[in-house]
Amino acid sequence: MNCFSSFKEDNMSFCSCDPAIEDRSWSTFSFLEALMLCSMRCSQTASCVAYNFFSATNQCQLFNQTLNKFSVLPGCQYFLKKALTINADDGFNEFYINGDNIPASYFPNAAKVIRPDTYYLMDNLVVLAIKSHNGAAYGGLAASTTDGYVLTNETWKCTESYYNGWYKINYNDSSWSPAIVTKISAGSLFNVNTKWISVSTKCKNCDFYCRKNVLGNFKFLEI
């Protein structure tokens, strides 16, 4: 699975003309192998948010900024990391991707309801898990990518109870209730289909835990 999206319009692919932070070629690999290596290289480089890939030469260019200058070049494709917009009312204080805790420094607005945060997703997304806090009024959680690959809605699982390992990939959340929708629209900064979600208990002054397995339901085997 890849969390990069290609930049194109009317089946025409665009290529970045911005200065690259890294430029290399994998001439001894096949086209698909080189493309995967380029994608992995961007994922593993903290400052990389996008890359060009030239199919004829297996050339890979990494960029630390989103597209400013572009052109249409034969055999060149521009890929951009999927940007996740996230907000919580009254805030969120833990964020996990595939069981890994993402430091709070990535979310300077985590406690600001009126200002969402943006986080660039990496490859191989399996599970998102978020711990949020709700104050006196009934709040919720909203998160989405522009293309709707990640989207808070009733398919998420949420609970008010804490469970050991609740954020891990192999955690069995089958006993959790589906999230309930608290607001239909999350606002103009989110994908149009994004919904505010929370726990079915409609708790106040509480922490609540939500998670989404983007691959579908896991099957847990009894040993």
**Domain CATH code at residue 41:** 3.50.4.10
What DSSP line would sit under 137-158, residue for residue? S--EEEEEETTSSSB-STTSEE
223 falls within a domain: no
Q: What confidence score (pLDDT) does residue 64 get?
A: 86
Q: What confidence score (pLDDT) does residue 125 get?
A: 77
105 falls within a domain: yes
Q: What confidence score (pLDDT) does residue 121 get?
A: 81
Rounded to whole angstroms, the Cα distance separating 177 from 54 reads: 46
Q: What confidence score (pLDDT) does residue 219 get?
A: 45
Residue found by looking up tokens 């400052």 in the block = 47
Domain shared by 103 and 205, yes or no: yes
Rounded to 10 degrees, the C-alpha dihedral 146/148/154/156 comes to -90
Per-residue tokens: 58: 């297996």
Per-residue tokens: 188: 């103009």
Per-residue tokens: 212: 């989404």
> Count of domains in the chain?
2
Q: What confidence score (pLDDT) does residue 22 get?
A: 96
Domain shared by 188 and 108, yes or no: yes
For the entire predicted model, the pTM comes to 0.69
Question: Rounded to 5 degrees, what angle do the CA atoms 79, 186, 188 make?
Answer: 60
Q: What confidence score (pLDDT) does residue 90 get?
A: 87
Q: What confidence score (pLDDT) does residue 186 get?
A: 76
Rounded to whole angstroms, the Cα distance separating 87 from 187 reads: 11
Domain shared by 199 and 89, yes or no: yes
Q: What confidence score (pLDDT) does residue 4 get?
A: 67
Which residues does the chain have with pLDDT short of 70? 1-12, 122-124, 184, 215-223
Domain shared by 76 and 135, yes or no: no
Residue type, 202: K
